Structure 1
Amino acid sequence: MGWQVIAFESELEADWKEVLAKATNATLMHQRSFLAYHKKRFHDASLILYRGDRPMAIFPAHREADQVFSHKGLGYAGLIHRPCSFDQEVQLYLQLLRYYEAQGVARLQIKATPSFYSKESTESLPYIMHLAQAEIRQMELSLAIKLPLKVRHKGRKANILQAKRSGLQVVEEGEVELFWDTLLRPNLKKRYQKKPTHNKEQMQYLKEWHPDNIRQFMVYQNGIPLAGATVFFTPNCLHTQYLATNVAGRKQHALDLLIDYLCTAQAAGRKYLDFGHSNECGGRKINRDLFRWKESFGAIPFHHSHYNLSTGAWRHLERVYQWKNDPMDA
């Protein structure tokens, strides 16, 4: 059976979904309905890789001049594939790079999906990038809580217990507007002089398209909002896309209660809660206070690498083995 690498078109969405359903490292961000949100900003260059007639992998990407990115509009992307051997994964990257080179693409930049999103080990990826002589363009340090939650920090444990005794109520909401207007935007502006990556209309649009994957939680006391979180649900993780509280919420430890609630009442067999990174300046600096706050819940660090490589690197991968048989037949 031969290889086919085909540029994504809407007629191939069923094949894209088939890979997502079988892949070990697929998440919400790789769905076409999520990528469609960016269609006006980026020139899509996504691919589907086939072995014979069987879709084996997808590659969410966009093109700018002679470079392809996977993906500037997403927190992470890269090659999303069915369970496969190391040899097979090497062959997938070889075929992908060779295709892009033939299309006049000179460089490929990959923002890899963090390892804890995968159901299986992803330790092979850094080595494949090494074989392809890729450069690490940027590296961040993501922090994730391994579930079930085990808080060992005495102060954090006391805060959670106090919040539970204070009559605070966690509520799931259908709209994000209250969170954006009363907590998120004011908090980011005051503490960091920043705005959310998404405005409330954009997030509400994404939430309505993915109601099971994007959910909004609020913490109230006597009907007054104290804290909130916009949470992305993926097969292996919960990701707190946005977290915010106010002065009253900090005094009542509302975020402590909310994190505990997400890790217990909403985990549903997932293995991690992803806090995201606490980096600044392209990963070269760390917001120490934010980093330590996440660590106090038992969160542990995972590197998140951004790779830059030549599309001609498929030749390096071709020379890794003296191929006696096609690895896809193994």
Structure 2
Amino acid sequence: MIEIKQYNLDDAEKWNEFVTISKQGTFLFNRNYMDYHADRFADCSFVVTEKGRIAATLPANRKGDTLYSHQGLTYGGLLTTERMTAEKVCNIFSELNILLKEMGIKQVVYKDIPWIYHRIPAEEDLYALTNICHAQLVSRDISSSFSLHDVRKFTESRRSGIRKAARNGILVSESQDLAAFWNILNNNLTAKYDARPVHSLAELQLLMGRFPKEIKLYMATTTDGEPLGGTLIYETLNVVHTQYISASPNGKAMGALDLLFDYIINKVYKGRNGYFDFGKSTESGGTVLNQQLIHQKEGFGGRGVCYDTYEWKI
């Protein structure tokens, strides 16, 4: 028999242990990552137990009468182990909906975990969403990914950029200079969208300090040290994900990002297990495709992986 309760701070250690053995967990679900923005998102996560042991977890936050899984993360969704069955997942959502109704929750917004993050197949939740919760797909973003065991030849436009960067003597290396990268990122977002990065510089420094093996920065610079651009990488068991990518005007003119990704893909990550994921190329809840951005990612061999969001009424 399953039991569902709200997460509390006393569960943190066992929660984190469960994330590491789950079929689809990543360090984004570690409480040391999730809770960095606890002041902005009212945690309303759930722990599912069976015979006294954790059988599943649901990272979530509450805003008014809506439960989100999760507003502060790229993806949310139910975490399970390989022992979890489709029938049990259906039961979990049936019981969860009863509990949510008692709590005054009227709707749920659920960002499922894309399949590239799954250690083994783990889409039982998608079946339960449509057949138990009668959920509707409300938004679909598209990312660009490829297998690191099958790195494809770059397009001529990307190879041309690599040659240009090489002629300009651009250097690429792992870096700790988050401030230089964040300034480039912030300047670009301000100029184009009058916006700022989702993470502040202080937050990125905090998270990189907590997860130095998982969060890595690669930078392209001139020979005299001028920062031209970079990417912040999130490494998980199955996916190397570019959380942020940005280049200065000089970097764009000199082909800095082309050389940067040639180095990262072919020198650092090629041949390892899993996928390289460039992240979303959509705006306005997936309704607007940034054609220039996705064209660039496809030039490195990336092809479509969807990030979906579902919604249902309680």
The two structures have a TM-score, normalised by structure 2, of 0.91
2:8 corresponds to? 9
Show the counterpart of 2:73: 74
SS in structure 1 of the partner of residue 278 of structure 2: strand
Matched residue, 2:119 = 119
Distance of aligned partners of 1:174 and 1:200 in 2 relative to their CA distance in 1, 3 Å threshold: same
The aligned residue for residue 302 of structure 2 is 299
Choose from 224, 227, 246 the match for 1:225. Answer: 227
Verify: 1:308 aligned to 2:311, yes or no. yes
3-state secondary structure, aligned to 1:244? strand
* C-alpha spacing 1:95/1:263, structure 2 compared with 1 (3 Å): farther
1:163 match: 165
Could you tell me which residue of structure 1 aligns to residue 36 of structure 2? 37
Q: Which residue number corresponds to residue 206 of structure 1?
A: 207
Change in Cα spacing, 1:215 to 1:152, as seen in structure 2 (3 Å) is: closer
CA contact (8 A) 2:186 2:197 kept: yes
For 1:292 and 1:90, the matched residues in 2 are separated by: 39
Gaps of 5+ in 1: 312-330
| Mapped contact 2:19–2:79 kept (Cα < 8 A) | yes
Paired residue secondary structure (1:266): helix
The code of the aligned residue for 2:22 comes to A
Deviation >4 Å, runs of 4+:
none
Q: Which residue of structure 2 lines up, in the alignment, with residue 186 of structure 1?
A: 187
For the 8 Å contact 1:7–1:46, the answer to whether it is kept is yes
Counterpart of 2:222 in structure 1: which amino acid? Q
Aligned partner of 2:239 in structure 1 is 237
Q: For the aligned residues, what is the CA RMSD?
A: 2.0
Structure 1 partner of 2:23? 24
* Cα 1:42–1:189 shift into 2, 3 Å: closer
Name the CA shift for 1:189/1:104 in 2 (closer, same or farther; >3 Å): closer
Distance 1:265 1:6 in 2: 46
Amino acid of the structure 2 residue aligned with 1:266: V
How many Å separate the matches in 2 of 1:179 and 1:152?
25
Residues of 2 paired with 1:45 and 1:229: CA distance? 32
Superposed, 1:87-98 pairs within 5 Å as: 87-98=87-98
Structure 1 residue 92: Cα displacement:
2.9
What letter matches 1:51 in structure 2?
A: E
**Cα separation, 1, equivalents of 2:299 and 2:76:** 29
**Residue identity matched to 1:264:** N
* Alignment match, 1:61: 60
In terms of mean alpha carbon deviation, does 265-274 or 72-81 score higher? 265-274
- Cross-structure match for 1:328: none
Name 1:253's counterpart in structure 2.
255
CA distance in 2, matches of 1:141, 1:122: 20
How big is each residue's C-alpha offset from its partner over 1:230-280, in whole Å with a ceiling of 9 and x where there is no partner?
Answer: 111111111111111123322332111222222234337241122111112
Distance, in Å, in 2 between the alignment partners of 1:294 and 1:208 is: 29
Counterpart residue type for residue 277 of structure 2: D
Report the counterpart of residue 102 of structure 2 in structure 1: 102
Residue type of the alignment partner of 1:269? R
Which whole-Å deviations, capped at 9, do the CAs of 1:265-316 have from their partners, x for residues lacking one?
43372411221111122211111111111111111112211111133xxxxx
CA change 1:192–1:63 in 2 (3 A) is closer
Distance change (3 Å), C-alpha of 1:123 and 1:7: closer
Shift of residue 117, structure 1, vs aligned partner: 1.3
CA distance in 2, matches of 1:118, 1:54: 22
Amino acid at match of 2:189: L
Distance 1:161 1:88 in 2: 54
Native 8 Å contact 1:238 1:270 kept in 2: no
Q: For residues 103-138 of structure 1, give each alpha carbon's deviation from its aligned partner in whole angstroms, at most 9, with x where no partner exists.
A: 232221111122211122244443322212112222
Q: Measure, in 2, the Cα distance between the counterparts of 1:9 and 1:125.
A: 23
Contact residue 18 and residue 55 of structure 1 kept, 8 A? no
Is residue 137 from structure 1 mapped to residue 163 from structure 2 by the alignment? no
Q: What is the CA–CA distance in structure 1 between the aligned matches of 2:210 and 2:2, rounded to whole Å? A: 34
Q: Is 1:175–1:204's contact at 8 Å kept on the other side of the alignment?
A: no
Residue 205 of structure 1 aligns with an amino acid whose one-letter code is: L
**How far, CA to CA, are the matches of 2:123 and 2:52 in structure 1?**
28
Q: What amino acid does structure 1 have at the position aligned with 2:205?
A: Q
- Structure 2's unaligned 5+ residue stretches are none
Return the letter of the residue paired with 1:88: K
State the Cα deviation string for residues 42-101 of structure 1 (Å, max 9, x = none): 221111111111111111111122221111111111111112332233233233323322
Q: CA deviation at 1:140?
A: 1.2
